[in-house]
Amino acid sequence: MQRVVVLFLALAVFAATGPAAAQVTSIVPADLAATWQLVSLERGVSSEKPERNQQPRGLLILDSAGNVFEWVGTNPRQEPDAPAVDPVKALADYSGFWGRYRVDAAQKRMVFNARGAVSPNVSAREFSRTVERSGDRLTLTSIDEPHSRGGARWVYERIPPIEAPGPTFRKAAGFWEYVVEKRTTTAGELLSEQKRGGPSTIVYTPAGYVGVHFLPINRTPTPFAGDVPTPEEARAAVQGYIGYYGALTVYPGEVFHNLMSAMSNVPGTILRRFAVFSKDGNELNVNFAPARDQQGRMVVTSVTLRRISGEAEMLGNNKK
């Protein structure tokens, strides 16, 4: 009988300290740093019957330095000219932002400061979400952000880093802030130089994904008068905005963006870009393939980016 009691106690201790209990639930930035894929989205969670989106596509990228990128698409099919034809619907179907975040572990809350966003009402805005983590699942619930439609709940699942990344891949990993873009001839003649109307970014993740938020050229986003934009407000917000996420393929000196959800391009499009790093690795020029303009000149568009974070910050404590 005594041996049975001892065995029972041993099993009880194992149950309390076994795999389920040992599951990582930390919500400090070093443990949250990862690529998180959207697996569930509910709207109207404050009501009795929340509405679950059937085929959401989205990506949440967090690093240990407090940088964040999010993209959410709720339209499983997209026509090439959809944003131009119905910009109000485009803004209803696609959302996301990038910027900074901090964690209030005691309150189980994440506070976001959006530097740039799909919606002008989110750009330069601070808002909060409750956060719960269970192993590789991360659940965020809106508290006070625009366009939350009666409260929203996002469930994300962590994607592990790829195996054996090459040197170009590791050098590219990180948050990159847009600086300027130029058009030059292949002979070196500068044709134009312009900037986006607000903070913009490209993010390359160790899990093999890419995220882009590029605000319109030379135009600061103007907030909507209400929560739902007028057709004119929506058209102004969509025109010139580039946003998407996709799978990343890296070759020596080249990066391929394989679009999975996009407001400004057709999902399934593959964007081939040439990557040129500065000697210290903190500046990246993403160059388009040369193309002939209307004057018959071979022209290259080049986007200059400045490093915000790198592979170490992207991985945090999640190196496996």
Most confident of 7-11, 15-19, 23-27, 32-36: 32-36
Give the pTM: 0.89
- The mean pLDDT value for 86-113 works out to 94
Q: Is residue 1 part of a domain?
A: no
- The mean pLDDT value for 254-262 works out to 95
Is the pLDDT score of 98 beyond 70? yes
We report the CATH number of the domain holding residue 258 as: 2.40.128.280
For residues 187 and 264, the model is more confident at 187
The model's pLDDT over 145-162, given as tens digits with 9 standing for 90+, comes to: 888 778 999 999 999 999
Query: What is the residue range of 298's domain?
Result: 167-315
We report the CATH number of the domain holding residue 50 as: 2.40.128.320
Domain shared by 198 and 121, yes or no: no
The per-residue pLDDT of the chain, averaged, comes to 89
- The mean pLDDT value for 220-231 works out to 90
Q: Which of 17-26, 69-78, 172-181, 272-281 has the lowest mean pLDDT?
A: 17-26
- The reported pLDDT for the residue numbered 15 is 43
The DSSP-derived string for 213-267 is EEPPBT------SSSS--HHHHHHHHTT-EEEEEEEEEETTEEEEEEEEESSS-T
Is the pLDDT score of 289 beyond 60? yes
Domain shared by 147 and 263, yes or no: no
Give the torsion through C-alpha atoms of 54, 57, 61, 66, to 10 deg: -60
Q: Is residue 171 part of a domain?
A: yes
228 alpha carbon, distance to own chain's centre: 23
Beta-carbon contacts of residue 200 (< 8 Å; ≥ 6 apart): 116, 177, 178, 213, 214, 215
- The reported pLDDT for the residue numbered 266 is 79
Is the pLDDT score of 14 beyond 60? no
| Confidence class for position 294, pLDDT limits 50, 70, 90 | very high
Total domains, the chain: 2
The span from the CA of 182 to the CA of 192, in Å, is 6
Q: Is residue 11 part of a domain?
A: no
Domain shared by 75 and 185, yes or no: no
Domain shared by 186 and 146, yes or no: no
Domain shared by 183 and 273, yes or no: yes
For residues 200 and 268, the model is more confident at 200
Domain shared by 224 and 306, yes or no: yes
Domain shared by 245 and 107, yes or no: no
The span from the CA of 58 to the CA of 256, in Å, is 19
- The mean pLDDT value for 276-297 works out to 96
Q: Is residue 10 part of a domain?
A: no
- The reported pLDDT for the residue numbered 78 is 59
- The reported pLDDT for the residue numbered 8 is 41
The model's pLDDT over 182-219, given as tens digits with 9 standing for 90+, comes to: 999 999 999 999 999 999 999 999 999 999 999 999 88
Is the pLDDT score of 2 beyond 50? no
Q: Hey, is 168 helix, strand or coil?
A: helix
Last residue in a domain, options 117, 138, 159:
159
